[in-house]
A and B are shown apart, each in its own frame.
Chain A
Amino acid sequence: MIRALIRKDARLLRFYLRSGITAIIACYLVCAGMVVMLSQYQDAAKQSLTSRTFFTLAVGSIYGIGITGFFAALLAGSIFTLERSDRSAEFLACLPPTRMQNLVSKLTVVLGATTAMLALPIISSAVANQMFPYVQVAPGQGNILFGTLEWLTSVAIIVSIIGGAFAVSAWLKSNGVPILAGLLTPLLILGFVSMIGWLLDIPSEGNTFQIRYVTSSFVLGGAFAYMGCYWYLTRSDP
Chain B
Amino acid sequence: MIFPAENSVIEVCDLTKRYGDNLACDSINLSVRQGTTFGLLGPNGAGKSTLIRMLMALTTADSGEIKLFGEQGSHRSSEMRCRVGYVPELHFIYRWMTIKEVLNFVSKLYVNWDTDLANEMLSKFELSTKKRVSALSKGMTAKLGLIIALAHNPDLLILDEPTSGLDPIIREDFLESVLQSHSCKGRTILFSSHHVDDVERVADEVGILVNGRFAVQGTVDELRNRIKRIRIVLPDGKLPVRVPSEAVFQKLSRREWIVTVDPFSDALFENLQSENDAVSADVIELNLEEIFKDVVRGQKPQSEEAKVD
- Residues on A facing B (Cβ under 8 Å): 1, 3-5, 7-8, 11-12, 86-91, 93-99, 101, 236-238
Contact = CB atoms under 8 A, between A and B. Distances in A.
B237 to A, nearest CB: 59
> What secondary structure prevails in chain A residues at the interface with B?
helix
Given A91-B91, A93-B57, A94-B86, 20 more contacts: A1-B78, A1-B109, A4-B105, A4-B108, A7-B105, A12-B94, A87-B92, A88-B92, A90-B88, A91-B93, A93-B58, A94-B56, A94-B88, A95-B109, A96-B81, A96-B110, A98-B75, A98-B78, A98-B81, A237-B59
A99 B73 CA distance: 14
A98 B77 CA distance: 7
Nearest to A98: B78
A221 B96 CA distance: 32
Contacts of A238: 58
A132 to B, nearest CB: 46
A97 B59 contact: no
B78 A101 contact: yes
B112 to A, nearest CB: 10
6 contacts: A1-B108, A3-B108, A90-B88, A93-B57, A97-B109, A99-B75
A127 B75 CA distance: 50
A98 B81 CA distance: 9
B57 to A, nearest CB: 7
B81 A94 contact: yes
A3 B106 CA distance: 12
A95 B57 CA distance: 11
Given A91-B92, A91-B94, A95-B81, A8 B75 contact: no
B119 interface: no
Contacts of B57: 93
B75 A94 contact: no
Contact of A90 (B58, B84, B109): B58
A96 B109 contact: yes
A5 B108 CA distance: 9
A97 B77 CA distance: 8
Contacts of B92: 86-91
B150 to A, nearest CB: 14
A173 B59 CA distance: 16
Contacts of B97: 11
Given A3-B108, A8-B105, A237 B58 contact: yes
Given A86-B95, A90-B88, A236-B60, A95 B106 contact: yes
A98 B78 CA distance: 6
Contacts of B105: 4, 7-8
B220 interface: no
A12 B92 CA distance: 14
Nearest to A91: B92
Interface string B99-139: 00000011011100000000000000000000000000000
A197 to B, nearest CB: 43
The 9 closest A-B pairs by CB, nearest first: A4-B108, A87-B92, A236-B60, A96-B81, A91-B92, A94-B86, A96-B78, A96-B109, A90-B92
A88 B93 contact: yes
B272 to A, nearest CB: 49
Nearest to B60: A236
B15 to A, nearest CB: 15
Contacts of B82: 96
Nearest to B82: A96
Given A1-B108, A3-B108, A4-B108, A94 B93 contact: no
Contacts of B108: 1, 3-4
Contacts of A236: 59-60, 74
Nearest to A15: B96
Interface string B61-77: 00000000000001111
Contacts of A5: 109
Nearest to B87: A94
A93 B105 CA distance: 14
Contacts of B56: 93-94
A33 to B, nearest CB: 35
A89 B93 CA distance: 9
A90 B84 CA distance: 15
Contacts of B81: 94-98
A127 to B, nearest CB: 38
Contacts of A11: 96-97
A111 to B, nearest CB: 22
Contacts of B110: 96
A210 B97 CA distance: 46
A70 to B, nearest CB: 23
A188 B94 CA distance: 36
